[in-house]
């Protein structure tokens, strides 16, 4: 189970099956995901490393079918950001989740 402060806003059942996206997209392959055995991937909505749009684009290209959680600070309209991501990547099952600390 991932036990980091960044994931404090996610339910424990989610944290048990999640892996963090690696900082380099080249490592985020279908083989790596299968080897990790995760049912979901977490990553930062905003980041100096690959951000949510870059991670989602990469995962859409490799045909990822698990859950995605984009972790965010408090946003004025989280649902709007989630809708934009989903409209750009409709095949992905993703959720924007505010966390207690980032």
Write down the pLDDT at residue 57: 93
CA 73 to chain centroid, in Å, comes to: 14
Reported residue count of the chain is 102
- Taking only the tens place, the pLDDT of each residue in 66-90 is 888 888 888 889 899 999 999 999 9
Q: Which residue has the higher pLDDT, 64 or 9?
A: 64
Tell me the pLDDT of the chain averaged across its residues: 78
Q: Is the dihedral of CA 99, 15, 1, 13 positive or negative?
A: positive
| Portion of the chain with pLDDT greater than 70, in percent | 75
30 or 3, higher pLDDT: 30
Nearest-CA neighbor of 86 among 94, 76, 78? 94
Strands (E), 39-101: 40-44, 67-72, 93-98
pLDDT of residue 1: 38
pLDDT at 84: 94
pLDDT on residue 3? 47
């Amino acid at each position: 189970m991932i036990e980091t402060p960044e994931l404090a806003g996610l339910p424990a059942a989610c944290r048990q099956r999640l892996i963090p996206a690696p900082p380099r997209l080249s490592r985020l392959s279908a083989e790596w995901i299968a080897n990790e055995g995760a049912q979901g991937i977490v990553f930062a909505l905003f980041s100096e490393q690959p951000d949510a749009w870059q991670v989602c684009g990469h995962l859409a290209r490799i045909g990822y079918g698990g859950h995605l959680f984009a972790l965010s600070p408090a946003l004025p309209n989280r649902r709007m950001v989630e809708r934009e991501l989903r409209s750009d990547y409709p095949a992905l099952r993703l959720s924007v989740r505010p966390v207690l600390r980032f």
